Amino acid sequence: MAQTLRLKRFTNVAILKRINTQLLMQFLNPYRDFLTGQRGMSWPANPDHFDHTSLAKILMSPSIDTPESLLDALFFVDGLADADCYDRILEEIQEFGVDLGVEDPTPEDLTLRVWLIDPNILERVHAEQNRVRPKTFQSFFTTEVNRPSLMFPETDTVIALENDLNKWFEFKKKGRGARVFPFPREDGFWFLVRHGQRIKREGTVEVDGDSGSVFYRPEKFDVLIYYPQTGELAIYADTKGEREIYCQLFGRHLFADDDFFCFGNIIEKYSLLPLIENARASLTCADVAGITGIVLYELHIQHSSNQRDIEIRRADDVFVALKHQQRELQDEQSSTRLIKAKFKVTFVGGRERCVTITPPNTATFDRETDNSMIHDWLTKRGFVKVTGEGVHADEAVLAMA
């Protein structure tokens, strides 16, 4: 899978010289013919004579003949060789019982050693880093009253799930190579799904200066979160088809039931009725740990007419703006419907994040790691219709396009 390769460390001669040279040569050995034959780099018998400068120049200018497996390996070992990932990698190798053979390796030595032992560990850590980006989640629920507890899936279960996903993605012209990374968390069970997208073509400038082209398959990460208390599967994925196949296959392999999660009939999770019934009081957050303030800064109001009349109110504070116009949402309830709301949430320490709620089942977070605190507020103020008691089949509504 293609990634944009911008090496930060392995093109720096000073950093390359900090790496254990024997380890570096072991990592590069599968590409020795490319480095020496096609790039003219010397390969010394004595590691002390290794040419770090030539290597940096080669890695600084990858071209179409650079082995794809080398580019993939560099993407992981370079991108994860920092202080932020160091501790996380150590946690992973401890969990999997990996013996590095050395104590206190440098970040670069660590990623090289781990890659040589088990590349899957670095791929897993890299996948986890992709959780901290803005994402829109749509929620799907089970109507099962007695929901089985979800344990960490066995390796065979994950492989079977990946195989079925590969069949679907290949049929959709998105290629094979799907990977599923489970991450148990306090608020639920997280799954990151890495898969390809449809092949793209881009124009290139060849080594000889002529015009050419390159075909590649971009990489994509989807996120799924299972909340056992409510039987909810929250999905971040681009297409309706992907969300549907995730409901089906995760139900099949985790709960032995293709229909465990309701997709065709959406169960409503969110309601904006508290904005009408309680106005500004619905933004109260004094009883929510970690949040110091919430402001409604955008509201989409659908008016009853045959003209698809949607009013979008944006303001520093929508409730203040409405008050200046002597408008009350409660007075307009019979002729309007709230279809989307955007909130600015201030956390302890002053950082701000935005959250968008779109009934019946969609939420967008700047960082889904803030999900737990925001969900606590939404639940306490009545924006969340589904509680820990679960849902019933008669609560389902017809799926929206």
The tokens describing 219, both together, are 């990489």
Same domain assignment for residues 222 and 277:
no
Q: What pLDDT, in 10s, does the model give residues 83-103?
A: 778 888 998 898 888 888 888
Over residues 136-150, mean pLDDT: 86
The reply to whether 260 and 287 lie within a common domain is no
pLDDT of residue 399: 35
Instruction: Report whether pLDDT(395) > 50.
Output: no
Average pLDDT on 392-399 reads 40
Q: Is the pLDDT of residue 343 over 60?
A: yes
Mean pLDDT of 72-79: 88
Is position 140 within any domain? yes
Regarding whether 286 and 210 lie in a shared domain, the answer is: no
Mean pLDDT to the nearest integer, 123-143: 79
pLDDT digits (tens, 9 = 90+) for 8-18: 788 888 889 98
Q: Are 167 and 193 within one domain?
A: yes
- What is the reported pLDDT for 387? 62
pLDDT of 131? 58
- Whether the predicted model's global pTM rises above the 0.85 cut: no
Q: Is residue 23 part of a domain?
A: yes
Domain annotation covers residue 8: no
Is residue 369 helix, strand or coil? helix
Burial class (CB in 10 A: 0-12, 13-18, 19+), 316: exposed
Final residue before a domain boundary, out of 267, 295, 314: 267
Residue 102's pLDDT is 84
Residues 290 and 319 in one domain: yes
Number of domains the chain is built from: 3
Ramachandran category for residue 173: left, alpha or beta (phi over 0 → left; psi -120 to 50 → alpha): left
pLDDT value of residue 98: 86
Q: Do 383 and 285 reside in the same domain of the chain?
A: yes
Q: Report how far apart, in Å, the C-alpha atoms of 381 and of each of 206, 272, 273, 283, 371 are.
A: 60, 10, 10, 7, 15
Range name among 166-170, 195-199, 363-367, 386-390 with the lowest pLDDT average: 386-390
Predicted confidence at residue 398, as pLDDT, reads: 35
DSSP 107-150: HHHHHHHHHHH-HHHHHHHHHHHTTSS-EEEEEEE---SSPPPP
> What percentage of residues in the chain have a pLDDT greater than 90?
57
pLDDT surpasses 90 at 345: yes
List, in sequence order, every beta strand (DSSP E) within 241-307.
265-267, 291-303
Question: Are 124 and 141 found together in one domain?
Answer: no
**The pLDDT of residue 7:** 78
pLDDT tens, 221-256?
A: 899 999 988 899 999 999 999 999 999 999 999 999
Q: Is residue 315 part of a domain?
A: yes
Domain final position from 103, 129, 155: 129
In this prediction, residue 28 carries a pLDDT of 96
**Residue 68 sits in the same domain as residue 140:** no
Residue 32 lies in a domain: yes
Let me know: does 255 contact 237? Beta carbons within 8 Å.
Answer: no
In a domain, 361, yes or no: yes
134 phi and psi angles, rounded to 5 deg: -55, 135
- Residue 3 in this model has a pLDDT that exceeds 60: no
pLDDT of residue 392: 43
The mean pLDDT of the chain is: 87
Give yes or no: residues 177 and 198 share one domain.
yes
Are residues 255 and 145 part of one domain?
A: yes
Of 129, 161, 193, the last residue of a domain is 129
Distance CA 231, CA 148 (A): 9
- Whether 7 is in a domain gets the answer no
Q: Among residues 39, 52, 34, which one has the least CA distance to residue 108?
A: 52
* 119: pLDDT strictly greater than 60: yes
Tokens describing residue 317: 């504070």
297 and 191, same domain (yes or no): no
What's the pLDDT at 361? 94
Query: Is residue 400 scored above 70 in pLDDT?
Result: no
Q: Return the structure tokens found at 2.
A: 């293609």
Same domain, 279 and 374: yes
The residue segments making up the domain with residue 104 are 13-129
Q: Is residue 2 part of a domain?
A: no
